[in-house]
């Protein structure tokens, strides 16, 4: 059903900068590295640093003995400029003292002249691996806690089974996905599941919610900035797009994007390149995009608050997450799931909810969807001291929900209803005590047997199944 995406993962070449005063050496490095990497060079440290300020560089091959500023001093400057650049020092004479200083200053490794082609290539490749790794570690650490929390999407309703299937299918592709659904339905969980089940699972999953970022910072947050791009930009900073390299970028609440950013995002999606704020170089992107919205984007397109071209770029594979009220059969499962979760968190031993409480929870309309249910269970588990959560422990909006009272449906007779309820329950209890012997029940209740029969019929009461 889904086709492999045409936006095949694009090769983004790493950039190596060679700083050496020996032109012959610069040339031979270029020849060795050129096939695999983009190569820049500089004859001294000052020009090398200038290149670093203007270009995106991943690895620097740095001669220790340079005219003017020497290699160790240059290393210090490079790391101050951007600590994620990996530096390999190149030297003719290997001394322990220089090696120790270099490592302390954060150099990746040491290369002694003359060197073999394979030696250089191997070292640069390993430096790149470490750079990618370090960039990810930062993100993965902060992501780990959240992923552990929301590891599984709970649900057995047919709509949820279809959703799981769709997630599995689309995870295998690189296609851009637009997830729609009311607030609290689990859109972010779905996005994470797509990422986790796909080939990019080991790469970063980077969420960004433009609505939560101030307007003045948003561009630099998304696209990064160069050092000195604006007042206060003391250091180069990677944007969310770049942090997501080789992984997935999750654009949350996409419906809130201002027109200007919509245009910028469209360009990024078309060209798969970004430019940092204050930058001059375009940086290739290999990022899978998943967007989410609880707004009706189609209507936003119709009213011209959302660009149509951007809408179609994002809506390659649409995934709709159903509201909780359309899959009430999942309420019980979710209740158990969250009771487990908060038992662990609060060190409690709540065993479940009473039948009556479950009925009320199942009947409720859940405007805040799963998040609302989660909050209510969290609160109950925290407060309740009995093993079972009772109906009285739930908030009034649930026990006296609109569905229960049917406001607007029919005129309300609270007293009549209450008396009716009372009578019905009394009769039911007596019938149960006399094991549905109607004459006995009528005698106990002081009613004529025919009156009792009429009431039993009116309420549709019947004995429990005894087989
Ligand atoms: N099917 C589910 N199973 C387990 N937990 C769920 C499920 N759906 C949602 N949740 C939990 O409910 C909370 C809300 O989910 P999530 O943040 O993914 O919703 P959302 O659709 O992104 O909401 P919003 O539009 O408000 O951002 C999260 O804590 C999530 O772990
Ligand atoms: Mg969300």
Out of 146, 160, 189, mutate this one to test ligand 1's pocket (max ligand atoms within 8 Å of CB): namely 189
Confidence label for 132 from pLDDT (cuts 50, 70 and 90): confident
Average pLDDT, the chain: 86
pLDDT of res. 286: 94
Confidence label for 33 from pLDDT (cuts 50, 70 and 90): very high
- 20 pLDDT above the threshold of 90: yes
Q: What is the pLDDT of residues 258-296, one digit of tens each?
A: 999 999 999 999 999 998 888 888 889 999 999 999 999
Least confident among 131-145, 208-222, 273-287, 389-403: 131-145
* CA dist list (Å): 454 to 426, 458, 465: 15, 6, 21
Least confident among 60-64, 76-80, 306-310, 319-323: 76-80
- 3 pLDDT above the threshold of 50: no
Which ligand has the shortest distance to the CA of 153?
A: 1
Task: Supply the angle between the helices 71-81 and 96-104 in degrees, to the nearest 10.
Answer: 10
Q: What is the pLDDT of residues 181-207, one digit of tens each?
A: 999 999 999 999 999 888 888 889 999
Compute, in angstroms, the gap from residue 200 CA to the centroid of ligand 2. 21
Which ligand has the shortest distance to the CA of 337?
A: 1
Q: Is the minimum distance from the CB of 183 to ligand 1 under 6 angstroms?
A: yes
Give 9 or 373, the one with higher predicted confidence.
Answer: 373
Ligand 1 atom with least separation from CA of 186: 18
Q: Is the minimum distance from the CB of 188 to ligand 1 under 6 angstroms?
A: yes
Task: Judge residue 104's burial from the number of C-beta atoms within 10 Å of its C-beta, 0-12 exposed, 13-18 middle, 19 or more buried.
Answer: exposed
Q: Is the minimum distance from the CB of 57 to ligand 1 under 6 angstroms?
A: no
* CA dist list (Å): 129 to 41, 108, 164: 21, 11, 34
The helix (H) or strand (E) run that includes residue 169 is helix 158-171
Q: Output the residue whose Cα is nearest ligand 1's atom 12.
A: 371
pLDDT of res. 234: 72
Ligand 1 atom with least separation from CA of 330: 1
Compute, in angstroms, the gap from residue 371 CA to the centroid of ligand 1. 6
CB 313 within 8 A of CB 176: yes
Q: What is the pTM of this model?
A: 0.62
Q: Is the minimum distance from the CB of 150 to ligand 1 under 6 angstroms?
A: yes
Ligand 1 atom with least separation from CA of 209: 27
pLDDT of res. 403: 45
How far apart (Å, rounded) are the C-alpha atoms in residues 25 and 91? 12
Q: Is the dihedral of CA 142, 145, 149, 153 positive or negative?
A: positive
DSSP 211-235: GGS-TTTHHHHHH-B-TTSSTT--S
pLDDT of res. 311: 96
How far apart (Å, rounded) are the C-alpha atoms in residues 293 and 182? 8
Least confident among 129-133, 136-140, 189-193, 234-238: 136-140
């Amino acid at each position: 059903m889904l086709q492999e995406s045409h936006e095949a993962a694009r090769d983004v070449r790493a950039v190596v900068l060679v700083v050496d005063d020996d032109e012959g050496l610069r040339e031979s490095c270029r020849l060795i590295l050129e096939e695999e990497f983009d190569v820049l060079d500089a004859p001294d440290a000052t020009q090398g640093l200038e290149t670093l300020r203007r270009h995106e560089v991943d690895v620097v091959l740095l001669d220790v003995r340079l005219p003017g500023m020497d290699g160790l001093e240059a290393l210090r400057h490079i790391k101050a400029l951007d600590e994620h650049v990996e530096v390999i020092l190149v030297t003719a004479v290997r001394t322990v003292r220089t090696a120790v200083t270099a490592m302390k200053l954060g150099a990746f490794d040491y290369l002694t002249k003359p060197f073999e082609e394979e030696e250089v290539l191997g070292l640069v490749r390993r430096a790149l691996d470490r750079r990618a790794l370090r960039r990810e570690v930062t993100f993965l650490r902060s992501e780990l806690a959240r992923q552990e929390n929301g590891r599984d999407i709970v649900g057995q309703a047919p709509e949820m089974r279809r959703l799981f299937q769709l997630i599995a299918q689309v995870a295998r592709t690189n296609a851009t996905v637009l997830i729609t659904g009311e607030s609290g339905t689990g859109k972010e969980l779905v996005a994470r599941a797509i990422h986790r089940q796909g080939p990019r699972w080991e790469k970063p999953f980077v969420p960004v919610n433009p609505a939560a970022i101030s307007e003045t910072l948003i561009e630099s947050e998304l696209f990064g900035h160069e050092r000195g791009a604006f007042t206060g930009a003391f250091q180069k900073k990677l944007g969310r797009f770049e942090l997501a390299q080789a992984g997935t970028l999750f654009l949350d609440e996409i419906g809130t994007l201002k027109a200007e950013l919509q245009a910028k995002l469209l360009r990024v999606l078309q060209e798969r390149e970004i430019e940092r704020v204050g930058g001059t170089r375009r940086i290739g992107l290999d990022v899978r995009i998943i967007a989410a919205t609880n707004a009706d984007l189609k209507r936003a397109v119709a009213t011209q608050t959302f660009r149509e071209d951007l809408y179609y770029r994002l809506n390659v594979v649409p995934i709709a997450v159903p509201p909780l009220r359309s899959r009430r059969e999942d309420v019980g499962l979710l209740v158990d799931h969250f009771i487990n979760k908060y038992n662990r968190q609060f060190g409690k031993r709540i065993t479940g909810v009473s039948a009556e409480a479950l009925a009320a929870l199942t009947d409720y309309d859940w405007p805040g969807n799963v998040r609302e249910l989660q909050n209510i269970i969290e609160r109950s588990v925290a407060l309740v001291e009995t093993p079972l959560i009772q109906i009285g422990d739930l908030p009034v909006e649930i026990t006296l929900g609109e569905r229960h009272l049917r406001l607007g449906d029919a005129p309300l007779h609270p007293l009549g209803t209450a008396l009716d309820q009372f009578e019905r329950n009394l009769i039911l209890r007596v019938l149960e005590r006399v094991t549905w012997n109607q004459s006995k029940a009528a005698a106990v209740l002081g009613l004529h047997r025919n009156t009792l029969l009429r009431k039993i019929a009116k309420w549709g009461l019947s004995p429990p199944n005894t087989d």
